[in-house]
Chain A
Amino acid sequence: MFSLIFTWLIIAWGTLACIYMLRCAWTRFPRRDLDDVVHFLHPVDLSLAESLLDPATDFALRWNSTPRAYREATRRRMRLYLELVRRMSHNSRVLIEYGNAIMRRECPSDDLMESPHEKSAAAALASELQHAAISVRLYALLVMARLRLRLWFPLDAIGALPALQLAQLRIAGEVDGPKSYDELKATAAAAFDQLQPADLPVLVRNM
């Protein structure tokens, strides 16, 4: 019985994956042009993120509040950090697609297989940008899952789990979130400086 249920679940998952790939092939999605990047970015206040992840702030809050007030304050801070991480995730996704667009522009012809070891500077920048963006995206996915679970199931309120300290969320999947986002910003700035210097100020403002 269980094997049949699992079989049907796997078939359904496979069918959905087929439909998604068909959609990708039909609409060439996901795709983003080089010119429509900066306006899709959402500003992330890294100093705010740092203050939310500061264990001293958390300690002071716990020391100066009643347990109930501390729980409420922690939930507010969790929601705030979730929003920041969501923006990080969105921006890294936009930059991954930007990297893909550079790749498409740099390697449009069929002669790429002839010279696999020649790597243009733009392609190298795109590659670096994508790697940095993927690490941020991994971090964001792990942290968002953890925060959402904690917000949906507030088990700390009934004492089933200890209250979540935001400082624990600094590192997820061996990636330091704020630091890797800062590095992503630096890599994106380096890429824009070389490829689209006119958009650099907007990029810096919007990230």
Chain B
Amino acid sequence: MNLFLRYVPLCLLAYLFWVLLRRKAYRTCPCFFIYVAFGVAAGLARFAAHNYHGSYFATYWITEAGYDVLGILVMYEVLRAALGNLTRSPWGRLIFPAVLVAGIGLSFARAQAAPPQAVGMPSYIVIGEIAVRFVQVLIFAGLVTLVPILGLRWRQYSFGIATGFGVYATIALLTTTKYSDFGTRFKLLWGWTSLVAYSLAVLIWIWFFSVPEKNETPGSKLSAPSPGVLKEYKNALRRMR
């Protein structure tokens, strides 16, 4: 694959990093900001090491593991931001662990059915990566389902982050599943599809972060209120009448 095309996502990530800095996104979405900063640093490290096979191998797998961990943290941040106080209720706290367990379980089941080609530590990183993709698709699809049901506003940063990850993860899962069916003939297409899908995800993030979030005022965030808060303002309203 052409070296320039391989590093298109890095250029887009660098632009996204600048957009995030301009929007001061490190205040509202710190984990995502760290993820993008890590992405830029990882891309540069891979670029610097691409002529040295051993170094590139180590850099690649270490950065992949970093992407996995940060991917999970970002999805937790997204869920907290979108569902607001609901994640603090007793059953709300179980949402993320349940999704995580489902993702890990499905990833291990998949690894049993079609073992990854990598051996040793990289194979665990691949399993972790697939688990992260499951988590990303589940959280994205779950949040999007809430838009028509609860009438949530979709044009918010948390939905933007989830959409980018969701689109990329859906395509990645699809290509990975098909890859195991077609074998190595699919390898080149898989590489291209992943590249295009990740670039698309970065473009989605740039688009969402290109305008400021409209409900920055405290309390105006359209997220589900906690039962305690609901009770509080209901009492206040009752007293007013």
Q: Which residue of A lies closest to B225 (CB)?
A: A131
Cβ–Cβ contact B113 & A4, under 8 A? yes
Q: Which of A13, A17, A103, A113 has the most CB of B within 10 A?
A: A17
Q: How many interface residues does chain A have, given as a range? A: 35 or more
CA distance A110 to B211 in the complex (A): 7
Does B151 sit within 8 A of A, measured CB to CB? yes
Contact status of A133 and B151, CB under 8 A, knowing A21-B163, A116-B217: yes
Across chains A and B, the number of contacting residue pairs, with CB separation under 8 Å, is 149
Q: Of the candidates A113, A124, A175, which one forms a contact with B216 in the assembled complex, judged by CB atoms under 8 Å apart?
A: A113
Q: How many interface residues does chain B have, given as a range? A: 35 or more
Q: Which residue of B lies closest to A174 (CB)?
A: B227
Chain B interface residues toward A at CB < 8 A: 23-24, 106, 109-110, 112-113, 134, 137-138, 140-141, 144-145, 147-151, 153-154, 159, 163, 166-167, 169-170, 173-174, 177, 211-220, 222, 224-225, 227, 229-230, 233-234, 237-238, 240-241
Cβ–Cβ contact A175 & B230, under 8 A? yes
Cβ–Cβ contact B150 & A118, under 8 A? no
Give A124-143 interface residues, CB cut-off 8 Å to B.
Answer: 124, 126-128, 130-135, 137-138, 141
Contact status of A10 and B113, CB under 8 A, knowing A133-B151, A138-B150, A183-B237: no
Q: Which residue of B lies closest to A2 (CB)?
A: B109
Cβ–Cβ contact B214 & A104, under 8 A? yes
Chain B residues near A124: list those with CB within 8 A: 217, 219-220
Q: Which residue of A lies closest to B130 (CB)?
A: A7
Q: Which residue of B lies closest to A108 (CB)?
A: B214
CA distance A93 to B218 in the complex (A): 22
Chain A residues near B150: list those with CB within 8 A: 96, 134, 137-138, 141
CA distance A190 to B23 in the complex (A): 34
Q: Which residue of B lies closest to A137 (CB)?
A: B150
Chain A interface residues toward B at CB < 8 A: 2-4, 6-8, 10-11, 13-18, 20-21, 24, 30, 92-93, 96-97, 99-100, 103-104, 107, 110, 112-113, 116-119, 123-124, 126-128, 130-135, 137-138, 141, 174-175, 179-180, 183, 186-187
Q: Interface of chain A, helix or strand or loop or mixed?
A: helix
Least distance between A179 CB and chain B CB atoms (Å): 7
Chain B residues near A128: list those with CB within 8 A: 233
Q: Which of B109, B159, B211, B234 has the most CB of A within 10 A?
A: B234
Cβ–Cβ contact A116 & B141, under 8 A? no
Least distance between B208 CB and chain A CB atoms (Å): 10
Could you list some 11 contacts between A and B, CB below 8 A?
A3-B113, A8-B177, A10-B134, A13-B138, A14-B137, A14-B173, A17-B144, A17-B145, A92-B151, A113-B23, A119-B220
Contact status of A17 and B141, CB under 8 A, knowing A11-B170, A112-B214: yes
Q: Which residue of B lies closest to A130 (CB)?
A: B222
Cβ–Cβ contact A13 & B141, under 8 A? yes
Contact status of A93 and B212, CB under 8 A, knowing A3-B106, A14-B166: no
